[in-house]
Structure 1
Amino acid sequence: MPFLDKLHLWAAEHPHDTAVVVGRRRLTWAQLHHAATARLHDAAATTILAEPNSTGFIERYAAAVAGERRCAVLDPHWPSAMIDEVSSRITQPEIAAVDALRDGDPATTFLVGLTSGTTSVPKAFTRSRRSWQISFEASIEFFGLMQDDRTLAPGPLSASLNLYALSECLFAGASFHTLESFDVGDAHAAISHDGITRLVVAPTMLRLLSERGLAGDVDASGIRSIICAGSKLDGRTLEAARRWAPNAAIFEYYGASELSFVSGTRLAAGEPLDPGGTGIGRPFPGVELSILDDEGRHVPEGDHGNISVRSGMVSDGYLWGDDGHALRCLDGWYTVGDQGYVDDGVLHILGRKSDMIVTSGKNVYPHEVELALGSVPGVETAVAAGAPDDIRGQRVVAGVLPAYGAVTATQLRTGLDGLLARDKWPLQYFVLSEIPMTDRGKISRKVMLDWIKNHDPRAQILG
């Protein structure tokens, strides 16, 4: 792993400075280096980590990627049968013994990543040490990470967003903070007491921290940057974050587990967001971006197709789960099938092709409808889908979870005016009593359509 040689350097140069904090547990650079070294004898050729956040997790993670060893980080909340199944599929390669905390050959695999697929068992892909070293150099440049930054990523380290933030900080020599489990009050306490300067969060978490921080008068003026990923920022979240952390630059980026970073944008303190827009910045440092059709041909600017990249950050491919529609290589360009277009150099994301709604011959992506509805005042969450229609083939329907009080169809239509082309507006609206989810905790358009079809009380039609 490309942070171990750096960890050795920081332990020598700044032995008593804080390296990592998990809840109330704190390790200096020297302590982390010593503890990880002591765990080397327990690390296998491939270590399976499926446990909550702790300093022990970080020590084991560092030891697990020493030399040419590799690590698979699994969600500890998965059913035990799934953890056992994934673990049994990961083979133990033959590797040389290692007795020191050092990086291995840059071309070798250090991480087995897991990503959800169409089957019950997640797909497994691999990453080389070199791919993350290139990613670190690009993200440190783009986000402006400095050694005096104190980064808080309060989510689980089993999530790639947080695992990467930890690794990036170890590489850069900047202190990393997290929680044993996410709690808004604990996150606010860390921000106040540890002098956090940088947040790494998903948009839903940012909204919680910002809105409750404003209500509780939690001072976030010392935060210099907020990094968001996982979904597009909506206007309500940005407005709350702006008021709560007025001095922070807000970054949002698009990437995929298999591709790493693709594009991103930086909103300086006070800079407005395009509400309901699909744009998510320009190509990341070191990334070539193009929009290709299914045959690998470049499409004209403004036309949509497969978002495709060439970069040194792309993963090495799959151990299992490749259905031919996941990571594909089109004449040297890599894509995971996300659809989008480029306008004036800015990438706009539309979503997966399989999610596209064809209504009266018009292509509508649920993602763009959801982004627009999510910017309407009073909407907490929006889900759009294509329902069967005898005349149109499909019709666009949308369910909304109100942020507070009640919401009407008239409010929603009025709010969409100017945000979304009229021929993409939903023909029916439903108020949701809860977010439709899969059994793995992801928002599901199919579940919402089932509710609508079966007249489930969790989806009530709006007049």
Structure 2
Amino acid sequence: MPFIDQLQRWARTAGQNAAVVVGEHRLTFAQLLAAATSTPGAAQLVEVIDEPTSTALAARFCAAVYSGKVAMVIDAQGSPDLRHRLRDAALDWANGADHGGSAEPPFLLGLSSGTSGLPKAFTRSSASWQESMGRSVEFFEVTERTVTLAPGPLAASMNLYALGESIYAGSTFVALPHFSTAAALAAMAEHNVNRLVLVPTVLELLAGAGLRTQQSGQQLASIVCAGSALSAGALALAREWAPNAAIHQYYGAAELGFVAASGVDRTGTPAMPETSVGTAFPGVQISIRDGHGKRVDRGVEGTIYVKSPYVCSGYAWGDDGLAFSSLAANAPWRQDGQDRVESELEVESDAREWFTVHDQGRLDNAGRLHVLGRASDMIVTAGANVYPHAVEAALAAAAAASFDGRHVSVLVTGREDPLRGQRLVAGLYASEGIAAGAGERNATALLARCRLAAAKLPASHRPSQYYLLDALPLTGSGKISRAIFTQWLNEGDPRAQRLH
């Protein structure tokens, strides 16, 4: 059972130490183990946990794992209809005869974020988490003295993992009943937090608020970011606020686990080039493949595949073949009438062990991974393929120069266009400056800077429209969402105002 053996160990040897703290409530290791072993579970195989982030949620999760049930944590902020449908889907799955054909039953039903409809649910073995935690506590230097704050909801996979990781290491995990920068900064001070696990957007908000209110992050020894790229502006802001922290960024996916990671040392020197997400995480192999499944040379772009003990076991529901899949499943076949007789690719003996979520990228000569984006994020405009991240990076550098650079986020999406298929549209969000009322002059300067930077890009990569955002379009887990931004544009949402 992932982390439960460790929970039992820490309950014996450090039982009075704080294990989980949420708001005014806390559980020691001894109390958490007692709650996990005494909490009545559901009669069925799956334990659906549908409640806000709290010590009670942590206890129910541990209880489900301890009892050998399959845990599924639902975002309590979701609509009642969606939550009801997820519960029904989980119970239907639990009542089915086949749970993926795995000899080992899963311990977790994880939910993969989607733009609409019912989220996909993947299954994960206890071994995938157990081996991952053994590696991650060493890589991120999590010890008994670590106090981790994950300010996002526990329903998000990276935060739920951080909870298990903290228990595994015998350290303290802190979460917030409701996120705000004030609540996060207060929790850091009250509980002597020395490690953050969060997405770059939240780090930038937290660092900016800390600097404005003179609440230093000097006590932080470690910051771990995931979910999206950490921009140069966000990194500079974090470094100013938390000068003593080692800043790690990792690339992964809920279905894949850790894939690659990089770091910034405590002097502020990046361990990797800015465009890289790092080298393969310990235990992971990375391969870049073309559309036929063949390996490509270093420096050539293609689909990112991983061979890893951390990958999930497959989908319980929602598998449309467009997300998590194996190399063997993706290999093209030659048709002979109605029969698939052989693969155009000489399928490798371990082809069923290589998996992808169809992110695109390349490996450089030093083995560093550069991620272009999800294949589904690609914008096709006038026949050209454009990955938004490349455009965002170029514009963000220009936007940063306009406002001492640390407070402008750039988001690029595609909108339907009758001539080009899609046209590029950029959204600009300033947490200070424009958003604080600096006025039309700053907005004009920002637009001019971005257009100047865009002029240096290929014509296909230049946005045709720019919007000033009053808020960031965020998912429930705090990740910036292009889909939500596009929805704002299509609906004429006042949070996105056209810049001329």
Q: Distance in 1 between matches of 2:461 and 2:272?
A: 16
4+ runs of 1 displaced by more than 6 Å? 438-442, 450-457
Q: Distance in 2 between matches of 1:147 and 1:106?
A: 34
Q: Distance in 1 between matches of 2:169 and 2:474?
A: 38
SS at structure 2 position matched to 1:32:
helix
Determine if contact 1:192/1:220 at 8 Å carries over to the other structure. Answer: no
138-147 vs 373-382, which moves further: 373-382
Letter in 2 for 1:123: K
Q: How does 1:18-417 map to 2 (within 5 A)?
A: 18-40=18-40, 44-91=44-91, 93=94, 107-117=104-114, 119-272=116-269, 277-330=274-327, 331-332=351-352, 333-344=354-365, 345-359=367-381, 361-375=383-397, 376-377=399-400, 378=403, 380-387=408-415, 394-403=422-431, 404-405=433-434, 406-408=442-444, 409-415=447-453
The runs of 5 or more residues in structure 2 that have no matched partner are: 96-101, 328-350, 435-441
Q: Distance in 2 between matches of 1:63 and 1:150?
A: 23
- Residues 303-349 of structure 1, C-alpha deviation per residue, up to 9 Å, x if partnerless? 21111100011100011100111111002310011111111311111
120-129 vs 426-435, which moves further: 426-435
Residue 2 of structure 2 is matched in structure 1 by: 2
User: Structure 1 residues 76, 38: CA separation in 2 closer, same or farther (over 3 Å shift)?
Assistant: same
User: Structure 1 residues 108, 457: CA separation in 2 closer, same or farther (over 3 Å shift)?
Assistant: closer
Residue 426 of structure 1 is matched in structure 2 by: 462
Q: Distance in 2 between matches of 1:263 and 1:32?
A: 32
Q: Distance in 2 between matches of 1:71 and 1:427?
A: 44
SS at structure 2 position matched to 1:65:
helix
Determine if contact 1:400/1:429 at 8 Å carries over to the other structure. Answer: no
Q: What is the CA distance between 1:402 and its match in structure 2?
A: 3.8
Letter in 2 for 1:137: G
Q: Distance in 1 between matches of 2:54 and 2:14?
A: 22
The runs of 5 or more residues in structure 1 that have no matched partner are: 95-104
Determine if contact 1:276/1:373 at 8 Å carries over to the other structure. Answer: no
Determine if contact 2:468/2:499 at 8 Å carries over to the other structure. Answer: no
Letter in 2 for 1:250: I
Q: Distance in 2 between matches of 1:138 and 1:322?
A: 29
177-186 vs 287-296, which moves further: 177-186
Determine if contact 1:341/1:349 at 8 Å carries over to the other structure. Answer: yes
Aligned-pair identity in percent equals 42
User: Structure 1 residues 436, 249: CA separation in 2 closer, same or farther (over 3 Å shift)?
Assistant: closer
Q: Distance in 1 between matches of 2:35 and 2:484?
A: 46
Q: What is the CA distance between 1:415 and its match in structure 2?
A: 4.9
Q: What is the CA distance between 1:460 and its match in structure 2?
A: 5.0
SS at structure 2 position matched to 1:137:
helix
Determine if contact 2:201/2:480 at 8 Å carries over to the other structure. Answer: no
Determine if contact 2:262/2:271 at 8 Å carries over to the other structure. Answer: no
Q: What is the CA distance between 1:142 and its match in structure 2?
A: 1.7
Residue 100 of structure 1 is matched in structure 2 by: none
User: Structure 1 residues 9, 325: CA separation in 2 closer, same or farther (over 3 Å shift)?
Assistant: same
Q: What is the CA distance between 1:386 and its match in structure 2?
A: 3.7
- Residues 335-380 of structure 1, C-alpha deviation per residue, up to 9 Å, x if partnerless? 0111111113111111122322344554321122123323322463
> How many residues matched?
452
TM-score by length of 1: 0.89
Q: What is the CA distance between 1:141 and its match in structure 2?
A: 2.1
> CA RMSD of the aligned region, Å?
3.0
Determine if contact 2:36/2:66 at 8 Å carries over to the other structure. Answer: no
